[in-house]
Amino acid sequence: MSRSALPRRAFLRATGAATLLAATPFVRAQGSLQKFKFNLGWKVEATAAGFLLAQQRGYYKDAGVDVTIDTGNGSAAAISLVGSGAYDCASADLATMIEFNVNNPQAKLAAVAIQYDLNPNSILVRKDGPIKKPADLAGKTILGQPFNASRKLFPVFAKAQGFDASGVKWENVAPDIGDTRFVKGDFDASAYFYFTGLLNLKARGMGPEQITMFRFSDYGMKSYGNGLVANAKSMEQVEAMKAFVKATTRGWVDAIADPKAGAAAVKAREPLANEEIEFERLKLIVDGSMKTTGTRSHGWGAATPERLQATIAETVDAFGLKSTPAVADIWTDRFLPTAADRKLKA
């Protein structure tokens, strides 16, 4: 039968279906949504808000991907899971990813978007204590586990401030117990992502007004914080990765514009979460690491060659790595959506 012989309704249905197939070929060709596994790199809290908002508002399904979002146990564990192929992508610290790639050159992991434009690593001290400036940390006792990113990047911070990091004594105590002991005065300082430390200590009776915070990004560190880290196999699924990054960008742009909605998404996923605390945490994240000069200029998720090069240089220096990767070895922007899609809302 010729096209002209088709009944009008049948023709419209046929051409409409063809248009939809062309728009999402990797989905419609399979007849179902593309499966995609994502690891948060941490528990369900405000750091997950943009991902959860994207999932709950149907952005992933609209883009053609069926995303499973799982909790994690820190950047190192999340990166290992992505490296093994257990997950397609994870939220993880770029410095930890760079270290992993250097030690496992066959892994070829790369960041496909930046989550934290300003690095959230920090050192917290009591305001009424003897430490008034970063150099006063020399020779002091600091709470921080070996896997703690703030501890691992401390040498970069110390070098920028002109003191020797080797004289610091690190205390490897479980975070919950360590927080309580820090409040009691057992340690001189504590290493944290600032938005985790401030609220952990507040829950134990030490408010922000009692704390001095040395954020690494305020004291010379140029490295990016967390990014969306993917493995080579998942990046071969180009349309699926583009769909995931675009929908995630949409979720984070929404969460930045409306932190209350982001906190509600956290609560919906984790009923035991304290929505008020997660709203406060998300505000700290947005105002301190996401709504920056860089993201206002380039949009959420983007990176500049200069900052990426600084991230590599600071990581190689801090971790004493045996080789220095190129920017192209750790980053790709080919999955990012358009600048208009990345733009923060007014």
The SS3 call for residue 24 is coil
Mean pLDDT of the chain: 91
Q: Give the C-alpha separation, 126 to 271, whole Å.
A: 33
CB-based burial label for 168 (10 Å; 0-12, 13-18, 19+): buried
One DSSP character per residue, 215-271 reads: EGGGTT-----EEEEE-HHHHHSHHHHHHHHHHHHHHHHHHHH-HHHHHHHHHHH-T
Confidence category of residue 164, pLDDT binned at 50, 70, 90: very high
Q: Which residues, listed in sequence order, are joined to residue 68 by a DSSP beta bridge? A: 37
Instruction: Please state the rounded mean pLDDT for residues 49-68.
Output: 98
pLDDT for 310 equals: 97
Q: Which amino acid is at 76?
A: A
pLDDT of res. 1: 39
For residues 216 and 155, the answer to whether their CB atoms sit within 8 Å is no
CATH of 21-117+224-342, one of 2.60.120.620, 3.40.50.720, 3.40.190.10, 3.40.1190.20: 3.40.190.10
Please say if the pLDDT value at position 265 is more than 90.
yes
pLDDT at position 90: 98
Convert the pLDDT of each residue in 82-129 to its tens digit: 999 999 999 999 999 999 999 999 999 999 999 999 999 999 999 999
CB atoms within 10 A of CB 276: 10
Predicted local confidence at residue 7, as pLDDT: 43
Exposure of 154 in the CB half-sphere (CA atoms within 13 A) = 29
**Equal CATH topology for 21-117+224-342 and 121-218:** yes
Task: Give the rounded percent of residues in the chain with a pLDDT score beyond 70.
Answer: 91
Domain extents in the chain: 21-117+224-342, 121-218
Alpha-carbon Rg for the chain in angstroms: 22
pTM of the model: 0.88
The answer, yes or no, to whether residue 269 has pLDDT greater than 70, is yes
Mean pLDDT throughout 176-205? 95
Show the tokens assigned to 41. Answer: 């790199």
Q: In what order do the strands lie in the sheet with 226-230?
A: 65-70, 34-39, 89-93, 226-230, 110-114
Give the H/E segment covering residue 191. strand 189-193
Reported as type and span, the H/E element at residue 59 is: helix 59-63
Q: What is the pLDDT of residue 149?
A: 87
Note the pLDDT tens digit of each residue in 271-326: 999 999 999 999 999 999 999 999 999 999 999 999 999 999 999 998 999 999 99
Q: What is the pLDDT of residues 2-39, one digit of tens each?
A: 333 334 444 334 444 434 333 343 444 455 899 999 99
Superfamily (CATH) of domain 121-218: Periplasmic binding protein-like II (3.40.190.10)
